[in-house]
Amino acid sequence: MTVIVTDTGFGPDTWTAGYQGDTALDLTSDTDPVQLVDRLAAQVQMIRIDFPSFADGRGFTIARQLRLSGYKGHIRAAGHVIADQYAMARRAGFDDVEISDQLAARQPEEQWLARANWQQNDYQSRMRGGGPAAA
């Protein structure tokens, strides 16, 4: 089983369409998102990007590139993402994070919720003079 992490905490997976077919994609961390842009516009509603290790940050770059390319669908980080990386995942463009039950037991919901204020702690926004932290 897996646990889905959102800004409101842990929850079940509500994606029921599956990852087979044209509505969802599973991407590895070495995928070049530029190669997917034409396919994404019309068909894909959900993209799940694999994190094989918490030290492998390529998934953050993929999500950011997808958003900058105009992808508006759901993007999920899956695998070895840790609570300390949650704010970065959200700022990169992920909508949620999928973790194993074992990771959820080691890093309980409170640790993830402590990073759920990712919009308030955005260093780049503070430097540009915007955002809640600039007040």
Written as tens digits, the pLDDT of the chain (135 aa) is 799 999 999 998 888 777 666 788 889 999 888 887 777 766 788 999 999 998 999 999 999 999 998 899 999 999 999 999 999 999 999 999 999 999 999 999 999 999 888 665 555 555 666 555 444
Residue 85 lies in domain: 2-7+21-134
Task: Specify the number of domains making up the chain.
Answer: 1
Token readout for 99 is: 């973790």
Q: What is the pTM of this model?
A: 0.83
Query: DSSP secondary-structure letter at 82?
Result: -
For residue 68, the SS3 value is helix
The secondary structure of residue 50, as a DSSP letter, is E
Residue 35 lies in a domain: yes
Cβ-proximal residues to 8 (8 Å cutoff; 6+ apart), any chain:
116
- Could you tell me if residue 78 is inside a domain? yes
CATH number, position 121: 3.20.20.70
Asked if residue 130 is part of any domain, the answer here is yes
In sequence order, the 6+-apart residues with CB closer than 8 A to the CB of 75 are: 46, 47, 48, 49, 63, 66, 67, 93, 94, 95
Domain presence at residue 12: no
Residue 15 located in a structural domain: no
> Is residue 13 in a domain?
no
* Residue 14 counted as domain residue: no
16, part of any domain = no
